[in-house]
Amino acid sequence: MTLEYTSSELMAVAGARELKDGQIVAVGLGLPVVAAFLAKLTHAPNMTILFELGIIDPEPIETGVGLADPRVWYRSKVMSSFVDILGAIAHKGRVDVGFLGGLEVDVYGNINTTLVGDPRGKFRHMTGSGGANDIASSARQTILIMRHEARKLKQAVSFITSPGYLSGGDSRMRAGLLGGPSRVITDKAIFGFDPTTKQMTLLSIHPNTTREEVLANMSFTPIVPEHVPFTDPPTAEQLRLIRERIDPERMYLG
């Protein structure tokens, strides 16, 4: 039997698969929330979830309307502050994975959530960093999840809100930053980064999507191996958990 699923559900499942049991994961708003709780309910029960505003390991009773909604904080192990999460945990290199969203990402994994347009002319300010810069700068690895569009996948972002590998090579290390991006998950594909050049590399293509479609909707050409597999689809149990327990109101899944 072929399961029916949406691109958002596949993105959340792909994100969950990147998380490991026992990791400390700083989770941003949106699909990272769905992915993190899916991992926690399946293969990573001992994973620790952090929300930047001061919440550790909650058990939400409802999806809520954002991470500041107290319904999402239910049964938290810790209810503290930005200072503790970002200062006492993230800045000390204790976060294994930073799981973020973004408006734009470039070939080196630099993330923009600050402005869209040309900084020298017409542009529009967006939400900005929040704790994303701290997390992307300090986490041992960063996962980004976003829609696959040429205007979002840029050769160079309009503004570096959260650093990836900066200009490639060892530039991130020379800047004194820990870790770096490990995955970019879109609604068409999954990307990693070349160990030497730090350029984005195509790892898998989602079912019902072609290589040509992936590349046509990017403003740069990533590294493309000779053989690129298809992304594994969600299982029936993963879809049940997403739809019945994690986001039944489709707050994040749309």
- Spatial distance between the Cα atoms of 128 and 112, rounded to a whole number of angstroms: 8
Concerning whether 237 is annotated as a catalytic residue, the answer is no
Domain boundaries, the chain: 7-246
* 216 Cβ contact list (under 8 Å, min separation 6): 150
What tokens appear for 20 in the block? 């490991």
> What predicted TM-score, i.e. pTM, was given to this entire model?
0.94
| Average confidence (pLDDT) over 242-250 | 94
Residue by residue, DSSP assigns 15-72 as HHHT--TT-EEEE-SSHHHHHHHHHHHTT-TT-EEEETTTEES---SS--SSTT-GGG
Which residues are paired to 101 by β-bridges?
145
Catalytic residue selected from 9, 18, 52, 104 = 52
Place of tokens 């053989």: 227
Q: Span 7-246: which CATH code?
A: 3.40.1080.10
Residue by residue, DSSP assigns 130-198 as TTHHHHHHHSSEEEEE----TTTEESS-SS-SB-SSTTSTTHHHHTT----EEEEE-SSEEEEE-TTT-
Residues 222, 225, 226, 232: what is their CA dihedral angle, to the nearest 10 degrees? -100
Calculate the average pLDDT of the chain.
Answer: 93
CA distances to 22, 24, 83, 233 from 71, in Å? 25, 22, 22, 31
- Spatial distance between the Cα atoms of 113 and 127, rounded to a whole number of angstroms: 6
- Spatial distance between the Cα atoms of 57 and 40, rounded to a whole number of angstroms: 10
Give the single-character DSSP code of 77.
S
N residues, the chain: 254
Identify the pLDDT of residue 254: 82
**For 25-69, how does the pLDDT look when each residue is reduced to its tens digit (9 = 90+)?**
999 888 999 999 999 999 999 999 999 999 999 998 877 777 888
CA distances to 7, 15, 79, 187 from 52, in Å? 27, 19, 11, 26
**For 102-115, how does the pLDDT look when each residue is reduced to its tens digit (9 = 90+)?**
899 999 999 999 98
Share of the chain above pLDDT 90, in %: 78
Give the single-character DSSP code of 97.
E
